[in-house]
Amino acid sequence: MAGQVPSIDSDPLHGFDPLATIPAKERKKMDRFIEFALVAAREALTQAGWAPASAAEQERTATVIATGIGGFSEIANAVHTTDERGPRRLSPFTIPSFLANLAAGHVSIAHGFRGPIGAPVTACAAGAQAIGDAARMIRSGEADIALCGGAEAAIHRVSLAGFAAARALSSAYSDQPEAASRPFDRDRDGFVMGEGAGLIVIESLEHALARGATPLAELVGYGTSADAYHLTAGPEDGNGARRAMETAIRQAGVTVDEIDHINAHATSTQVGDKGELAAIKTLFGSHPVAITSTKSATGHLLGAAGGIEAIFTIQALRDQVVPPTLNLHHPDEEAAGMNLVALQARPQKMRYALSNGFGFGGVNASLLLKRWQ
């Protein structure tokens, strides 16, 4: 069970059409996660109105695109080809087709971006870290503007089997897959893998105003930390997650009482959701911050999650609506007294919102966004 992006053939109206962006000849050189990145990059740059023409502009444009796994399907295909037909049957593009940094590489080449480039591979925190890293590049003076976020396309029987063996995937709702992703719900039993890409354009305020751009939100804080606890599970008290959020809030120069909303990392696993709730409760105390997990609708996009969830958070601030956590019928006992937004979207005045991303290896990242006014 997984959440695949439909193709243009199966869904002519909304399906994914890589050929609208990528020449057929070039598609043969890349895994699906790179295709997602190229299409998302075009959409983000078009919306932002950024197409640097001069060498100076190109050299001041950064590209930071994360992935949690990289070209899993192309790796599996290469192994199969080698086993069945021999190593001489591999394409000369085999290695570039699946390298984790090639989403950033392809996008940089396609658009002529010659500034700093990066590709965090920090599991499910990667997308959020890509945005945070890009912000640091701008703040340090290395770049004026950056395209950043994450891309993932790891749905394959081997990856699914591996996550299932780790007891990370949901298996209790195979007959009703739309109910399987249920963050914070008492009856959750694992995540549902998704795929896609979420990329945003960030820039210094001075640069945005100089070119007449209207920001959608401000990125005012970024925090990251390590659990140093376990390869695949965070501590029960969510100590690392708390420190990442705390750092983002401190960097912005605000207090916890000013945070209105959290788009939680919550993937619908028992241990992970409970630890994040504990972290929020410790940091925010009785402050009724509105908490939601959009993974209930999208599934878990692994390294792309931080990118797409930053977009959800920006939209929440722009529209002043907190998205719901679907399938949240019986909140976890850890959530007693907490402000979970369940089942239905909630109109609410908001100024500051956090977007969290945590990953295997004990990696935590938190982005603090502010409504643009």
124 has catalytic annotation: yes
Is 175:72 a contact under the CB 8 Å cutoff?
no
Three-state DSSP class for residue 155: coil
Q: Could you tell me the strand order of the sheet in which 261-263 lies?
A: 217-226, 363-371, 352-359, 261-263, 290-292, 339-340
| Cβ neighbours around 232 below 10 Å, total | 16
Is 61:144 a contact under the CB 8 Å cutoff?
yes
For 342-372, letters b (16+ CB in 10 Å) and e give beeebeeebebbbbbbbbbebbbbbbbbbbe
* Separation between Cα atoms, residue 187 and residue 180, nearest integer Å: 10
- CA 327, distance to chain mean position in Å, is 21
| Residue type at 60 in one-letter notation | R
Instruction: Exactly one of 45, 69, 100, 124 is catalytic; name it.
Output: 124
* Residue numbers annotated as active site: 124
